[in-house]
Amino acid sequence: MLVVALEEIELFNAVGLVARVDRKAALKFATKLVTHLEAKGLSIFLEPKLAKHINKTEAAMPLKKMKADLIVTIGGDGTILRTCLRIPKPEPPILAINMGVRGFLAEVNPKEGLNAVNMCLEGKFTLERYMKLASFIAGTRLPDGLNEVFITSHTPAKLLYARIWKDGEAVAECRADGVVVASQAGSTGYSLSGGGPVLDPEVDAFVLTPICPLTVFHPIVFSAKSTVSIELLKPKRAVVVIDGDYQMNMEPKNPRITIKKSEYESSFVRFEGNFYHRLKGRLLFSRGERF
């Protein structure tokens, strides 16, 4: 993770909005925010589904074409991850307004949303930049993941038998329900639930965590300079899931996926607090949640 000083940040002229359209509160806030931004003379881009729901179809713009100076997400971590998968690279900064369950990556709640946007426009913030994971199958690049790359058996409830490679050297074999390769940001997600460690954001590394291994197999932390490959041994079919959103089948003719640090990053607007403040407040202590 890299924290960027204010003087390095350019201010914004075009703002993109992405929101959960299944939450009335998210749609209500998005409508209010569009009015607020238009009053300030800014260009607005809306994800097509959102544009349709709030009757602003003239501002519709697919995520893959949304070349904004700032992206505001209104939802939870799933909304953020979906956005980071699809927006053009290099990615603009993201201000995440939490309307999800935990919202670990999100920065502010809806009550603070308009004030947070104003602070962004005034340059009163810092940026946290997180590494992403690049994945390749037979030379084809998959979308970069902010959180994790998950490989699991193509057949439900069937064990995956895989060999792990680091920089061309076989380092381990495992039988498990699946294997997660997670970044620093992703180490607080699925990997953590599978028994993996939390990676300090200042540690330039990623972690490989087996999910429900048949035998004892502890997570492995790799340097971000490493290139890690997972070779399917049995079965030679699997499903790759990136950030819980993008899916691709692995077939016998191409039974290996290679993962390394991407040249691209995701950056998040921050106002106060730090990684451990969010970790304690949102993950390490139980709190009331709604789904």
Catalytic (active-site) positions:
77
CA 53 to chain centroid, in Å, comes to: 25
Those residues whose C-beta lies under 8 Å from the C-beta of residue 174, and which sit 6 or more positions away, are 161, 162, 164, 210, 213, 215, 217
Cβ neighbours around 61 below 10 Å, total: 18
User: How many angstroms separate the CA atoms of 219 and 233, rounded?
Assistant: 19
User: How many angstroms separate the CA atoms of 203 and 185, rounded?
Assistant: 11
DSSP 65: G
Placement of tokens 């209104």 in the chain: 74
Strand partners, 234: 161
Q: What is the DSSP string of 241-270?
A: EETTTEEEEE-TTS-EEEEEEEEEEEEEEE
